[in-house]
Amino acid sequence: MKKQKPRYYLISLSTLFFLLPAGVSHARTVSGAPLDLALIDGGFAVTYKEKTVLRHTSADPAFEAGWGEPAFTMKHGSFTIKERNLRITPLRRHAIMGKERGRIAVRFDDAVTVEFRDAEGTLEIAFIGDRKKLNRLRMRLRCGRGEAVYGCGEQFSRLNLRGERVPIWCGEQGIGRGRDLITILADIGYGAGGDAFSTYFAQPTFVSSGRWFFHADTTAYCEFDFTRKDSFELYFWELPERCVIGVDDNMPGVLRQLSGLMGRQPALPSWAYDGVWLGVQGGRDVVAKKLAGAQKAGVPVAAVWAQDWEGRRVTSFGKQLMWNWRYDETLYPDLPGYIRELNAKGIRFLGYINPFLALEKELYREASEKGYLVRRADGSEYHVTITTFPAAVLDLTNPEARRWIKNVIRDNMIGIGLSGWMSDFGEYMPVDASLHSGEPAELYHNRYPVDWSRTNMEAVREAGRAGDIAFFSRAGYTGTSRYAPLIWAGDQLVNWSKDDGLPTVITAGISAGFCGIGMHHSDIGGYTTVGWIKRGRELFMRWAEHSAFTAVMRTHEGNRPEANWQFNSDAATLSHFARMGRVHVALKPYIRDAAREYAETGLPLMRHPFVHYENDPGLHSIMYEYLFGRDLLVAPVIKKGKTSWRVYLPRDEWVHLWSGTSYTGGWVTVGAELGKPPVFYRRDSPHAALFESIKGI
């Protein structure tokens, strides 16, 4: 490995702004606005935009640094993470090295220099130190006792993270994710039970209700501790490349700054909103039959999504796919011709791809011969077991490997007429791998899903199809929002569980919205069928109701289609699904306006109500309601057997979508029979007439 020079690491002062408690006296100020440093007894405090963000004294140091050794184990994409031989020391002694307008440098214990910079409206903090001696950093930021915290990527089981310790690491979401029997059995059988904070899409980013955000530019493992009453403790397994704090007068302004820093998602094509994306599989004849049945029942179909376009693999886990990225001529004879037939009827065809290669097939042999695969330290190929079978992993640090897979996408997918695909996986990168770039796999692991989305988007752009092709990604990290037009919530259980079922896709969409993701959706009905857990009729219908009020409405048959209730399992379900599809299509003008708002301001389509109602502290206890755009409040029914539902409304003029009854805020109970999910619109919305018209659908 090449010798590395010490590097600067930047942390935005916006994050640190609540560090100084009220009542601390300033001896004197030694810099200019908006960045100031005030000397206090035995230390200093840093303020940014008149917000005190950091306080340091020898008795209460703001930073610790040291060295530790990682201990990772991975099974089926789930990680157990520990550390050994940790030696970390509080940095107590300090010397102010530089004091000029917009820049302050402080040296700690002759080991680490911390430089604070005003950088175009945000606060950056850089760390200079010897990386050979220091690979651990702990930072303490003062906060207000009443602040709520959101983000840290896509969180499924928790929304307000105050009081929690959150690991920042991409991995399998896990099965069950609680303390119940299914989680225990998943752990015993697969080592893939998951927990409250296991997630495909992690990100070292959070937003505080105190109107500020924090982001760390690091790919190392992190732990964010929000359990303390008056400080946030952030722990990094390296000196971060950059930390940024943004402060604003209101939450929309905070999200504008944050999403500008992260990068906003490319726009979805107009056709994406023209109907449901019908997830069907089984070959050309089966797909055609299911599509015809859906259309006869009045289901508006924008696209057929056939994940088995490249072939099928049947395992003990269910019907899975043959990861060889060219169409299966047995299941889909003359697929290009069939796609042309669909396109002539105004229907798109979508497929599937991931960064693995099936060991039985020709694309694997080609990639292996050319050296495009991730290897072990001994030089042998690193084959990863996914569920019950091994697969090779593309080495995306190799420019030639990226060029090769982009050509595969261009020729074998775009070239035969695909208008999009599921861009699956990305979180399985082993931390003990040997990479083409020579960089440590431990530090590349979290960046792998970003490079996977980037590779897909580059293939689309190089084919000249940007703005017309839509792919949707599961795994992600900082930067994914720059490349993936659409995120989906991954593989939930096909049940009502608040740890791994329907409720979790609501928290996932809201939390991702605090990290720069504006376009989010989920598999209608969930994906994972294991043991006794099978998708029922009511669950499918309630999930479809929720999905009608998301960016995209897409079904999935699941890993065991025959065991699950499907959109066409009976006439009542098919009729309900068709109606919710028509509701979704009717909302197209509103959804497109919300998508433009996201592109311009960074406000996500699924957003927590407190973003617009900041003075209502009761909203921070709400997990399963969201604003869909500015003017719709959606409170999906997430319990079985309910015909009414209790909803919390922020203070405003709200109209119940189905009855027309008006409300002004607080807790209300409304009818919620199947087909009429609790949805409200703002009376003074410019789209009020559109919303009113939906009642007749």
Order the strands of the 356-358 sheet from edge to edge: 356-358, 390-393, 383-385
- Tell me the mean pLDDT in the region 334-347: 98
Quote the CA–CA distance of 236 and 580 in Å, as a whole number: 45
- Tell me the mean pLDDT in the region 374-391: 95
Catalytic residue (choose from 64, 195, 274, 427): 427
Helix or strand (DSSP H, E) at 105: strand 103-108
Rg (CA), the chain: 25
Do domains 13-170+202-258 and 607-694 share one topology? The answer is yes
- Read off the pLDDT band of 184 (50, 70, 90): confident
Q: Cβ neighbours of residue 569 under 8 Å, at least 6 residues apart?
A: 537, 540
Is the pLDDT confidence value at 28 over 70?
no
Q: What pLDDT, in 10s, does the model give residues 96-140?
A: 998 888 999 999 999 999 999 999 899 999 999 999 999 999 999
As beta bridge partners, residue 358 has 391
Quote the CA–CA distance of 354 and 387 in Å, as a whole number: 14
Q: Which of 24, 79, 18, 22 is nearest to 51 (CA)?
A: 18
Q: Determine the pLDDT at residue 2.
A: 35
| Position with higher pLDDT, 353 vs 6 | 353
652 among known catalytic residues: no
Phi/psi at 8 (5° precision)? -85, 140
Is the pLDDT confidence value at 8 over 60?
no
Q: Which amino acid is at 551?
A: A
Is the pLDDT confidence value at 12 over 90?
no
Q: Pairing mode, if any, of strands 136-142 and 202-208?
A: unpaired
Q: DSSP string covering 160-199, please?
A: S-TT-EEEE-B----SS-SSSHHHHHHHHHHS----TT-B
Return mean pLDDT, the chain: 93
Q: What pLDDT, in 10s, does the model give residues 612-664?
A: 999 999 999 999 999 999 999 999 999 999 999 999 999 999 999 999 999 99
Assigned token pair, 271: 């056709």
CATH label, 607-694, candidates 3.30.110.60, 2.60.40.1180, 3.40.50.1100, 2.60.120.20:
2.60.40.1180
Give, in order, the Cα–Cα distances in Å from 538 to each of 241, 303, 406, 563, 626.
48, 24, 41, 15, 22
Q: Determine the pLDDT at residue 100.
A: 83
With vertex at residue 124, the alpha carbon angle to CA 122 and CA 129, rounded to the nearest 5 degrees, is 180
With vertex at residue 661, the alpha carbon angle to CA 657 and CA 666, rounded to the nearest 5 degrees, is 95
Catalytic residue (choose from 248, 424, 451, 557): 424
Helix or strand (DSSP H, E) at 84: strand 78-90
CATH label, 270-353+400-425+452-597, candidates 3.20.20.80, 3.20.20.140, 3.40.50.10540, 3.40.50.360:
3.20.20.80
Is the pLDDT confidence value at 26 over 60?
no
DSSP single-letter state for residue 266: P
Is the pLDDT confidence value at 78 over 70?
yes
Q: Cβ neighbours of residue 56 under 8 Å, at least 6 residues apart?
A: 43, 44, 45, 62, 63, 94, 106
Class level of CATH domain 13-170+202-258:
mainly beta
Longest dimension (CA), the chain: 79
pLDDT > 70: percent of the chain: 95
Q: Tell me if 396 sits within 8 A of 451, measured CB to CB.
A: yes
Catalytic residue (choose from 491, 499, 625, 631): 491
Q: Determine the pLDDT at residue 114.
A: 96
- Lowest-pLDDT range, 172-186, 432-446, 583-597, 669-683? 172-186
Is the pLDDT confidence value at 424 over 80?
yes
Please tell me whether residue 368 adopts helix, strand or coil conformation: helix
Q: Determine the pLDDT at residue 657.
A: 98
427 among known catalytic residues: yes
Phi/psi at 152 (5° precision)? 60, 35
Is the pLDDT confidence value at 153 over 50?
yes
As beta bridge partners, residue 655 has 662, 681
- Read off the pLDDT band of 192 (50, 70, 90): confident
Quote the CA–CA distance of 491 and 47 in Å, as a whole number: 43
Q: Tell me if 325 sits within 8 A of 335, measured CB to CB.
A: no
Helix or strand (DSSP H, E) at 186: helix 181-190
Assigned token pair, 577: 């699904």
Q: What pLDDT, in 10s, does the model give residues 51-63?
A: 889 999 999 999 9
Q: Determine the pLDDT at residue 33.
A: 62
- Read off the pLDDT band of 21 (50, 70, 90): very low
CA 208 to chain centre: 18
| Position with higher pLDDT, 30 vs 604 | 604
Quote the CA–CA distance of 386 and 393 in Å, as a whole number: 11
Q: What pLDDT, in 10s, does the model give residues 519-560?
A: 999 999 999 999 999 999 999 999 999 999 999 999 999 999
Q: Pairing mode, if any, of strands 222-225 and 202-208?
A: unpaired
Q: Tell me if 630 sits within 8 A of 682, measured CB to CB.
A: yes
| Position with higher pLDDT, 239 vs 9 | 239
Q: What pLDDT, in 10s, does the model give residues 79-100?
A: 999 999 999 999 999 999 988 8
Q: Tell me if 200 sits within 8 A of 173, measured CB to CB.
A: yes
- Tell me the mean pLDDT in the region 671-684: 98
Is the pLDDT confidence value at 289 over 50?
yes
What is the pTM assigned to this prediction?
0.94
Is the pLDDT confidence value at 9 over 70?
no
As beta bridge partners, residue 81 has 72
Side-chain half-sphere CA neighbours of 187 within 13 A: 14
Phi/psi at 117 (5° precision)? -135, 135
Domain ranges of the chain: 13-170+202-258, 270-353+400-425+452-597, 607-694
Is the pLDDT confidence value at 191 over 80?
no
Q: Determine the pLDDT at residue 185.
A: 85
With vertex at residue 135, the alpha carbon angle to CA 134 and CA 138, rounded to the nearest 5 degrees, is 95
Q: Determine the pLDDT at residue 171.
A: 97
Q: Determine the pLDDT at residue 316.
A: 80
Quote the CA–CA distance of 599 and 573 in Å, as a whole number: 35
